[in-house]
């Protein structure tokens, strides 16, 4: 079916926020006297909800993990949020998609308030009909829940007319939970193997290739 709605992940899909996220994680881990010998060790932390990563990689109980998230935000909200850059070609692609009649949405596990700040900072917020993200109280953080929330906010959006774009396995899994097709981007933080094994319907190498694929989807028959 012809696609009319595109849901975008933010980190690793629209912007390269690796520096700010890694700096914020190092700040937080330092608070707990945990040292990182090689920053590349933090690559798996990019994308998934931070609480889950703290529980998985540091063995934190849920309460301590939530505390860690707040420590992370001390650095991120002050400085890390803007240690970030838009991937080359993203804004041109967004312009083209709007010109093709697409409704563009954001569905990110980043707190919604932070997502809005980032997109406004880079002058991209105006391209999106809705920017949806996680809540600060942790009541909505998993990708499937965020996607469901964004679709509900756009009442006219039908699942069969929507496609999710993301760079990590949790983007794919969350989309599949909601019955959406998924485009995995290979210029972000996830590998080809990760995205393929998670069940991506399509894989693209660049924002330019992403725009071409979405252009074809907009032209498909009803």
Extract the tokens encoding 66.
């939530």
What is the per-residue pLDDT for 203?
99
Phi/psi at 6 (5° precision): -120, 125
Predicted structure pTM score: 0.91
Residue 72: per-residue pLDDT: 97
pLDDT tens-digit map of 85-131:
999 999 999 999 999 999 999 999 999 999 999 999 999 999 999 99
For residue 222, the model assigns a pLDDT of 47
Q: Return the active site residues.
A: 9
Res 136 pLDDT > 90: no
**Domain spanning 18-82, CATH architecture:** Orthogonal Bundle (1.10)
Q: What was the pLDDT predicted at 89? A: 98
CATH architecture of the domain covering 5-16+84-219: 3-Layer(aba) Sandwich (3.40)
Residue 221: its pLDDT value, please?
53
pLDDT over threshold 80, residue 220 = no
Cβ contact 170:136 at 8 Å? no
Residue 74 has pLDDT above 50, yes or no: yes
Span 151-173, pLDDT tens digits: 999 988 889 999 999 999 999 99
The ranges of the chain annotated as CATH 3.40.50.1000 are 5-16+84-219
Instruction: Report the distance separating Cα 201 and Cα 214, nearest Å.
Output: 13
Nearest alpha carbon to residue 13 among 215, 212, 206, 218: 206
Q: Which two tokens stand for residue 9?
A: 């992940």
Instruction: Provide the pLDDT for residue 118.
Output: 97
Q: In degrees, to the nearest 5, what angle opens at C-alpha 22 toward C-alphas 9 and 137?
A: 60
Confidence (pLDDT) at 2: 84
Residue pLDDT, tens place only, 19-59:
999 999 999 999 999 999 999 999 999 988 899 999 999 99
In which residue ranges of the chain is CATH 1.10.150.240 found?
A: 18-82
- CA 1: distance to chain centroid? 24
- pLDDT tens per residue across span 170-201: 999 999 999 999 999 999 999 999 999 999 99
């Amino acid at each position: 079916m012809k696609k009319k709605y595109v849901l975008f992940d933010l980190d690793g899909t629209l912007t390269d926020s690796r520096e700010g996220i890694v700096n914020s994680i190092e700040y937080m881990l330092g608070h707990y006297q945990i040292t990182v010998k090689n920053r590349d060790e933090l690559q798996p932390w990019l994308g998934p909800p931070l609480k889950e990563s703290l529980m998985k990689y540091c063995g934190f109980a849920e309460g301590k993990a939530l505390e860690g998230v707040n420590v992370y935000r001390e650095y991120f909200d002050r400085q890390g949020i803007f240690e970030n850059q838009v991937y080359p070609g993203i804004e041109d692609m967004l312009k083209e998609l709007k010109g093709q009649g697409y409704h563009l949405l954001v569905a990110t596990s980043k707190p919604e308030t932070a997502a809005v700040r980032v997109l406004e900072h880079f002058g991209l917020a105006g391209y999106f009909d809705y920017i949806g993200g996680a809540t600060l109280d942790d009541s909505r953080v998993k990708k499937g829940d965020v996607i469901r929330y964004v679709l509900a906010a756009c009442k006219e959006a039908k699942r069969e007319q929507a496609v999710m774009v993301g760079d990590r396995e949790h983007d794919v899994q969350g989309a599949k939970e909601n019955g959406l097709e998924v485009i995995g981007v290979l210029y972000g933080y996830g590998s080809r193997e990760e995205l393929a094994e998670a069940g991506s319907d399509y894989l693209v190498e660049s924002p330019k290739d992403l725009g071409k694929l979405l252009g074809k989807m907009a032209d498909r028959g009803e």
